[in-house]
Amino acid sequence: QVHLVQSGGGVVQPGGSLRLFCAASGFTFSSYDMYWVRQAPGKGLEWVAFIRYYETTKSYADSVKGRFTISRDNSKNTLYLQMNDLRAEDTAVYYCTGADDYWGQGTLVTVSS
Amino acid sequence: DIQMTQSPSSLSASVGDRVTVTCRASQDIRNDLAWYQQKPGKPPKRLMYATSTLQSGVPSRFSGSGSGTEFTLTIASLQPEDFATYYCLQHNTYPYNFGPGTKLEIK
């Protein structure tokens, strides 16, 4: 059975950093492109970042470019999102997703002083 | 970047109705469009991709059409479980972008 289990969310002050984790199981993680998608409270979906299955190709939404870094460790079946210089507008539930439309459970990131 | 718009932003309908949601792209995305359904407190669920290819397990009352810059999602006969918010996503060019969503409510 496929699982994407997320961790690493929480409350952080503006300008701070957080790292999100997405642990995959039940499918061949190293064969699939992976993504992060977020949703601010009461708002729509926002595509955040992408990483190719072989790691070297990445893309970011303009709103996070230069502040967020997506990465993966195929030996650990884990996807990461390093978030630096966080702003209030980054407050959202963050989802990892990929493969045949598998989704993590979501993790809340709150940026507040 | 490619921008996506959707209409209507909300829609009231009854069980059994046929409903259509429209999604427009700011530039040609060929047929590289997906549709997602989201219910409150849950992750989104992909209904179809490449405009009209149904995700496994999605009922055939859902269909998609279009190409280039204009696309539609049609639900042939609304069921109670279909009341949700629907989003389009262009998967032609990075960065991908979602539309702002269409909330489908019970009349």
Determine the pLDDT at residue B60: 97
Determine the pLDDT at residue A100: 81
- Is pLDDT at B63 greater than 90 in this prediction? yes
> Which residues of chain B make contact with A47, given a CB cutoff of 8 A?
89, 95-98
Distance from CA of A71 to the nearest CA of B (A): 16
Q: pLDDT confidence of B107, banded at 50, 70, 90?
A: confident
Q: Is any Cβ of chain A less than 8 angstroms from the Cβ of B101?
A: yes
Determine the pLDDT at residue A55: 78
B1-59: per-residue pLDDT in tens? 999 999 999 999 999 999 999 999 999 999 999 999 999 999 999 999 999 999 999 99
B67 half-sphere exposure, CB direction, 13 A CA radius: 2
Which of B45, B58, B98 has the highest number of chain A CBs within 10 A, making it the mutation to test binding with A?
Answer: B98
Of B45, B55, B101, the CB nearest to A44: B101
User: What one-character-per-residue DSSP string does B18-85 give?
Assistant: -EEEEEEESS--TT-EEEEEE-TTS--EEEEETTTEEPTT--TTEEEEEETTEEEEEESS--GGG-SE
Determine the pLDDT at residue B95: 94
Q: Is any Cβ of chain B less than 8 angstroms from the Cβ of A50?
A: yes
Residues B57, B60, B62, B63: is their CA dihedral positive or negative?
Answer: positive
CB contact under 8 Å between B44 and A105, yes or no, is: no
- Is pLDDT at B104 greater than 90 in this prediction? yes
Segments in chain A below pLDDT 50: none
Determine the pLDDT at residue A4: 97
CB contact under 8 Å between B101 and A45, yes or no, is: yes
Q: Is any Cβ of chain A less than 8 angstroms from the Cβ of B45?
A: yes
DSSP state of B96: P
- Contacts (Cβ under 8 Å, ≥6 apart) of B10: B102, B103, B104, B105
A27-52: per-residue pLDDT in tens? 999 999 999 999 999 999 999 999 99
List the single residue in B with minimal CA-CA distance to A44.
B100
Determine the pLDDT at residue A56: 83
**Strands in chain A per DSSP E:** 3-7, 10-12, 18-25, 34-39, 45-51, 58-60, 68-73, 78-83, 92-98, 102-103, 107-111
Contact A22, A4 (CB under 8 A): yes
Of A47, A60, A61, the CB nearest to B89: A47
CB contact under 8 Å between A44 and B100, yes or no, is: yes
Distance CA B97, CA A50 (A): 12
Determine the pLDDT at residue B16: 96
Distance from CA of A44 to the nearest CA of B (A): 6
B84-101: per-residue pLDDT in tens? 999 999 999 999 999 999
* Strand partners for A5: A23
Contact A36, A18 (CB under 8 A): no
